[in-house]
Amino acid sequence: MTHTPPQLTAFLTAAIEAARRGAAELEGWRTKFSVREKFRADLVTDADLASQRVVKESLLGAFPDHIFLGEEESVGKTPEETRPAADAPPVWVVDPLDGTSNYVHDVPAYCVSIGLWAGGKPIVGVILDPRMNELFSAAIGLGAFLNEKPIMVSTIPELRDGMISTGFPANYQKQLRNLDAWAKITAHAQSLRRTGSTALNLAYLAAGRFDGYWAYDNYPWDVMAGAVLVTEAGGSLTTCDGLPYDPYRPDIVATNGRLQTELLSVLAEKPTGK
């Protein structure tokens, strides 16, 4: 399935409008939301639900023949269980509030993330950070932008000079593998960061702020929009074992391209003392 530039622009425009509506809900709920746990330390608020509702209404209002895949409708499913059928129409893949724990604690690092999957690949990505008033947007073949200005990945050539980010799952047992990776990478990289928002990590990579990102436990709504941004900004994405990137697999390594081989190599090292 190939889409023309005008079609991609229409998709991108709709995604931006939906993200703005979702972000408005987040900001409107900031002082009055209630919060509960989906699972231990995995939070959901009234704001997540309100944002997803308006984003879904906006996108399906514009494209009623499309499918909507939202985080809050997919609790308990594995990434693979959310994969669309090969012959499915375009699928909007949405995290209405990425960085919920930050939002709950009033840490200004959260966003609305909207990706579009069509023809077996991500083709549109929009990430809107309402607190910083930063709109990251991209469509396949049309470039990546921050507040309508073109962005590119960094030119850092070696891990020793790189700022690398990651994300940890809420489940403690699943964190252990990432803690091993953190120990390995901190011995090689200039600095490491954990922002609490996978979507913003990838947006920052696309904008040249971060030089790499890895994680083992993402869902498609965490990464779909960011994957388009990173690709269009000139970066590289693979699985953690170096295979072609697949947003319906939980693992990801994304870099400015120059660091891809080195970061994959460090991640493959045997943990210290084992």
Residue 260's H or E segment, with its range, is helix 260-267
Instruction: Find out whether 248 and 117 touch, Cβ atoms under 8 Å.
Output: no
Which pLDDT tens digit goes with each residue over 75-99?
777 888 899 998 999 999 999 999 9
- pLDDT: which is higher, 30 or 191: 191
CB atoms < 10 A from the CB of 196, how many? 19
What count of Cα atoms within 13 Å lies in the side-chain half-sphere of residue 99?
Answer: 26
Would you state the pLDDT for residue 229? 98
pLDDT at 72 over 80: no
CB atoms < 10 A from the CB of 202, how many? 34
| Residues pairing with 118 in the sheet | 121
**Which tokens hold the place of 109?**
């690092």
pLDDT at 73 over 70: yes
Classify burial at 129, counting beta carbons within 10 Å of its beta carbon; exposed 0-12, middle 13-18, buried 19 or more: buried
Provide the pLDDT confidence category of residue 60 given band limits of 50, 70 and 90: very high
Tell me the whole-structure pTM to 2 decimals: 0.93
Would you state the pLDDT for residue 273? 53
Torsion angle, CA of 48/51/54/60, rounded to 10 degrees? -70
Amino acid identity at 48: D
DSSP state of 209: S
Provide the pLDDT confidence category of residue 33 given band limits of 50, 70 and 90: low
Phi then psi for residue 248, to 5 deg, are: -95, 10
Phi then psi for residue 173, to 5 deg, are: -60, -35
Would you state the pLDDT for residue 42? 43
Would you state the pLDDT for residue 44? 59
Poorest-pLDDT segment among 43-57, 102-116, 125-139, 252-266 = 43-57
Which pLDDT tens digit goes with each residue over 141-179?
999 999 999 999 999 999 999 999 998 877 667 778 888
In sequence order, what are the residues at sequence separation of 6 or more whose Cβ sits closer than 8 angstroms to the Cβ of residue 48?
A: 71, 72, 96, 97, 100
